């Protein structure tokens, strides 16, 4: 067990949640999502995203439409479906729970130490 591994696991866990979260603001195409995730240092390489998007779409959480692009091939614009919104809501709730849990553990252990 090493640090990178655990970090990767953590990122992996929240990645799907973050994708849905990004799309809840605006419809976006893969590169937009990637840029945002890259900024937050959630992903390093772009290839990671494509399987996730495709799976979420197949699970009915996302839909997409083709849009012509001025530079390059037509792009897939992804949007959340109603099911996706429901799913995101649940994830939001779990995330907050998780965040609370982690915070409370952290603060408690700090208290214990001091």
Residues binding other proteins (CB under 8 A): 5, 8-9, 11-13, 15-16, 30-31, 44-48, 50-55, 58, 69, 71-76
Residue 36 or 46: the one with the smaller Cβ distance to other proteins is 46
Helix (H, G, I), strand (E, B) or coil at 51: helix
Round to whole Å and give the CA distance between 90 and 93: 5
CB of 101 to other proteins, least distance (A): 20
Between CA 98 and CA 103 the distance in angstroms is 8
In 3-state terms, what secondary structure has residue 47?
helix
Nearer to other proteins, 44 or 105 (CB): 44
Least distance CB 113 / other proteins (angstroms) = 31
The strand order across the sheet containing 75-80 reads 28-29, 75-80, 62-67
Task: State the nearest-atom distance from the C-beta of 23 to other proteins, in Å.
Answer: 16
Residue with Cβ nearer other proteins (40 or 54): 54
CB-neighbour burial class of residue 6 (10 A; exposed 0-12, middle 13-18, buried 19+): exposed
- Kindly state the smallest distance separating residue 55's Cβ from other proteins, in Å: 6
Closer residue to other proteins in complex, CB, 33/80 = 33
Strand partners, 65: 77
């Amino acid at each position: 067990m090493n640090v990178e591994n655990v970090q990767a696991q953590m990122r992996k866990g929240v990645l799907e949640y973050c994708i849905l979260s990004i799309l809840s603001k605006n419809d976006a195409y893969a590169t937009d999502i990637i840029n945002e995730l890259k900024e937050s240092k959630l992903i390093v390489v772009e290839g990671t995203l494509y399987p996730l998007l495709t799976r979420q779409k197949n699970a009915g959480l996302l839909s997409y439409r083709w849009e012509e692009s001025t530079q390059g091939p037509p792009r897939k614009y992804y949007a959340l479906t109603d099911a996706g919104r429901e799913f995101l809501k649940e994830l939001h709730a779990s995330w907050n729970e998780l965040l609370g849990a982690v915070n409370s553990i952290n603060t408690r252990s700090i208290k214990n130490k001091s």
